[in-house]
Structure 1
Amino acid sequence: MPGNDVNEGTAGQDRAPSPAVARALTVLETLVESDEGMTLTALAKRTNIPLATCASIVYTLEQRGYAQRRVVGRSHFWRPTLRLYGLATQLVRKVDLSSVAQRELRELADVVGMPVHIGVLTGASVVYVAKAATPGFIQFDTYPGKVAPFNLTALGKAIAAHLPERDLEPLLTQLTPGRGPRAAEPTREAFLSELAGVRKRGYAVEDEEEQAEIACVAAPFFDAGGLVGGAVGVTGFSRDLAGQRRKEAIAGVVEIGRTVSRKLGFDDLR
């Protein structure tokens, strides 16, 4: 019976430390998940929250700028606003990417015996913001704070492959020629084709393009809004980053990319 449905639907909220907060969050989450505006009646039915309570919540959300209504005839349709995204963006800015997945970076570095990095895009450059190094005499010059042309690193390619067109377009005029033996003359068409391959595979590869004997693989991570936030990569000698070790490195950066995405609030992983 309908009455039983309401009781069952609100039981979990009533058991919450603050039932009022639980109901407000349920209403907000339902508005965000809906593909179109919802009337109060539909919202109350979907959430199993009494109509009067649902109305109070929605009016409060409207007052605080988290919801807005569109009037069509005698009906009012409610939708969430981007103010919630503004809060998420502020939170993401406060996340310390250098430590958000340090344990995972360390574990992968130990498995493949090569340094693992996190990089973000700044203009047409990739900036290394975190590194898990490996012990030994040979150390790669990939320190936090290092800057490299975005199109000559797997990190940069992994990020660029998922940029909105409006953000990618200006970068296509700033392609830097590589100094490595496998570097080709950078062209818009060739780079766009490579980015399509990155999106299809889920990871990027750079092999002796920026400089001789050095290769890297990288996978992107995404923020709460679904925008690419950066990439995770492994760097090593080309002769070492091959065969089974390359497969392990690729699997590792893809998994860490998913981990970082989850920690940043992205929940649409494929």
Structure 2
Amino acid sequence: MYVYMNGELVPKDQATVSAFDHGFLYGVGLFETFRIYNGHAFLLEDHLQRLNKGLSDLSIKKNFSKQEVMAALSLLLEKNGYENAYIRFNVSAGYGEVGLQVEPYEVPNVIIYPKPLPPAGNDIFEKKAQLLTIKRNTPEGSYRLKSHHFLNNIYAKREIGNFPDVEGIFLTENDELAEGIVSNLFWFNEGTLFTPAVETGILNGITRQFVIKLAAKLGYQVKEGFFKPEVLETADEIFITNSIQEIVGIKEWNGRYFPGKQGKITQLLFQQYRQYCLLLSSKTELDKEV
């Protein structure tokens, strides 16, 4: 497998960064994960908008255009022979001396990691949801970045173990619903779609934003807010989202069973999602005819 590194295609076992990279030393770096569907990078513009804002906030002097990234992806996918892939787009701060740096980072390291995926099918996945005892840490700044700082998530994954059919659900320090280890949380009840507010400290996932807009387009009321975990007990359906797993039905929570992938709203949103994943570069295009 080849990775894209600073403008070059490099065999994965030859891709290296300096031991003085501040992404390694201090976690100063960001990443985005998204899917390639038959060569199309779904919601790429939204991912880059979030990435570019985060880089500016971290004083990493880099800004990515859609054209630049698509050119890199095209080279990478062709070299590896992939038409459908998982992409991790990684930007670390780059070289710096030992010690905390206040000056901007001028030469970041840009690495794009691909993994092959099968063509997207029409089957919805489902999982069990497990309440975590470890709480969601608060963001380091005014909002949560998709950064290299991932220890809270790693501890959470260790708590539930290596079970791919289980997603751990974080609570905030105030015992309110937050998000999954690698997902955002939704539930449907009496005609309304609910999800924790960004102000709880969760990552504002790109798929989360798309599903909120998609549900509203379909005529559903969407409420973001602060919720205790007990509200899930009376939910009609629960599902989680992320850019790789898409929309995943939850079939069990706290000893109670739910429709999971059989949920009517979960299925409807997934079917709509599947129609758009080959077409859209931004959620704003939902407002246009495609």
TM-score by length of 1: 0.22
Structure with the higher fraction of residues in strand conformation: 2
Larger Rg: 1
TM-score by length of 2: 0.21
Point out which structure has higher relative CO (alpha carbons under 8 A, 6+ apart). Answer: 2
